[in-house]
Amino acid sequence: MSALMSRGRIPVAAPALLGNEKRYVNDCLDSNWISSNGEYIKRFEAEFARYLGVKHAIACCNGTAALHLTLLALGVGPGDEVIIPSFTFVATANAVHYTGATVVLADCEHDTWNMDVGKLESLVTHNTKAIIPVPIYGHPCDMDLIMSFASKFNLYVIEDAAEALGARYNGLLCGTIADLSTFSFYGNKTLTTGEGGMVVTNNDDFAGKVRLYQGQGMDPSNRYWFSVIGYNYRMTNIEAAIGLAQLENIDTLLDKRKTIAKLYNEYLLGIPGLVLPVVKEYALHSYWMYSILIENDYGMDRNEVMALLEEYGIETRPFFYPMHCMPIYTCAYNNMLRVSEDIASKGINLPTYFALEQADIEFIADVLRYRKS
pLDDT, one tens digit per residue, over 160-191 is 999 999 999 999 999 999 999 999 999 999 99
Average pLDDT over residues 304-329: 96
Task: Fold for 250-369, please state it.
Answer: Aspartate Aminotransferase, domain 1 (3.90.1150)
pLDDT, one tens digit per residue, over 96-126 is 999 999 999 999 999 999 999 999 999 999 9
Average pLDDT over residues 288-300: 97
Calpha distance 280→30 (Å, rounded): 48
Average pLDDT over residues 129-142: 98
Domain boundaries of the chain, sorted by first residue: 21-248, 250-369
Answer for the pair 52, 175: CB distance below 8 angstroms, yes or no: yes
Q: How many residues does the chain have?
A: 373
pLDDT, one tens digit per residue, over 61-104 is 999 999 999 999 999 999 999 999 999 999 999 999 999 999 99
pLDDT at position 361 over 70? yes
Beta strands in 123-272 (DSSP E): 128-131, 156-160, 168-169, 172-173, 180-184, 197-201
pLDDT at position 335 over 70? no
CATH of segment(s) 21-248: 3.40.640.10
pLDDT confidence of residue 210: 98
Calpha distance 268→297 (Å, rounded): 15
pLDDT at position 5 over 90? no
pLDDT at position 6 over 90? no
